[in-house]
Amino acid sequence: MIDDPGAYEQTLLSVLRAHSAAAVSSLQRIDRTLPEKARGLLIMVHLPQDAEGLFSVIVHLEGPDAYALQNAMGQDRTLFNVRFVEGRVVPDVPLFDPFDQPFDVNDAIVDAVMIWMTEVWAAFGGLGKRLPVRVLSPDGFGRRQSLTLAP
C-alpha cells in the first residue's frame, strides 16, 4: 500500500498519462461538434463517497438545455474512468481501504487530475471557440478549488 500522497500522485499520474492521447482525441471530437448553445466547459473529477481510489473525469457543458448539451458529446465526455471489470480494477490504479487511509486519497486524486488535465489541455491546444474551461471536484476535494484552463 502507498502511504505517501506524493508517491501516490506520481503513480496515478503515470496511469493517467498512459491515457492522455485518448483524452486529447475525445476533446478534439467534442470541439468539432460543440453545440452553439455551449457557454463553457467544466471538467469534473467525480469521486464516490468511500474514498477507495475510484474516480471518473467527465466533461460537462454549461449552457441552456443541459440535457441536450451533455448528450451532444456522447461517450467522448468521459475522459477517464476507473471501474471494476470482471473483479479487476481497470485501469489498474492503487486502491485503498476506505476506513483506513494514510492520507486524504480524494484530495490526492483531484490534485493529480489537475496536473494531468494541464498537460492534456496543452497537447489538445484549446477549443476553436472561446469558452471558459475549468477543472474541479464538485465536492471540493483537492488543494485547489478549481483550475482554469481557458478564461
Q: What 8-state DSSP symbol labels residue 137?
A: -
The answer to whether residue 81 scores a pLDDT higher than 80 is yes
The strand pair at 78-81 and 56-62 is best described as antiparallel
- Residue 43, strand partner residues: 59, 135
In a domain, 140, yes or no: no
pLDDT at residue 103 in the model: 87
Burial 13-45 (b: 16+ CB within 10 A, else e): bebbeebbeebbebbeebbeebbeebeebbbbb
pTM: 0.94
Helices (H), the chain: 5-17, 20-32, 66-73, 105-124
In a domain, 53, yes or no: yes
pLDDT at residue 143 in the model: 94
In a domain, 49, yes or no: yes
Average pLDDT taken over every residue of the chain:
93
pLDDT tens digits along 83-106: 989 989 899 998 888 788 878 899
In a domain, 137, yes or no: no
In a domain, 77, yes or no: yes
Q: Is 143 helix (H, G, I), strand (E, B) or coil?
A: coil
The total domain count for the chain is: 1
- Please measure the distance between the N-terminal and C-terminal CA atoms of the chain and give it in whole angstroms: 39
Taking a C-beta distance cutoff of 8 angstroms, is the pair 73, 38 a contact? no
In a domain, 18, yes or no: yes
Q: Which domain holds residue 93?
A: 5-129
In a domain, 147, yes or no: no
